[in-house]
Homo-oligomer: A and B are copies of this chain.
Amino acid sequence: MPRVRVAVNGYGTIGKRVADAITLQDDMLLVGVSKTRPNYEALAAAGKGYKLYVPEGREEEFEQKGIRVSGTIEEMISKSDIVVDATPGGVGAKYKPLYVKHGVKAVFQGGEKPSVAEASFNSLCNYAEALGKSSLRVVSCNTTGLLRLICVLNREIGVRSVRAVIARRAADPKEVGKGPVNAIILNPPSLPSHHGVDVKTVLPWLDIATAAVVVPTTLMHVHTVIARLKRNTGVSEIIGILEQAPRIILVDSGKTGVRSTAELAEIARDQGRPRGDIPELIVWADSIRVDGDEVMLFQAVHQESIVIPENIDAIRAAASLASDPWESISKTDSTLGLKRWW
Contact = CB atoms under 8 A, between A and B. Distances in A.
A300 B189 CA distance: 12
Contacts of A300: 184
A216 interface: yes
Interface in A155-191: 163, 165, 167, 169, 180, 182-186, 188-191
Given A180-B260, A186-B260, A260-B186, A191 B222 contact: no
B184 A219 contact: yes
Contacts of A287: 186, 189-191, 211
A298 B217 CA distance: 20
Nearest to A188: B259
B215 A253 contact: no
A297 B213 CA distance: 12
Given A167-B167, A224-B165, A182 B219 contact: yes
Q: Count the copies.
A: 2
Contacts of A265: 183
A209 interface: yes
Contacts of A222: 184, 186, 213
Interface of A: 163, 165, 167, 169, 180, 182-186, 188-192, 209, 211, 213, 215-222, 224, 226, 253-254, 259-262, 265, 284, 286-289, 291, 296-298, 300
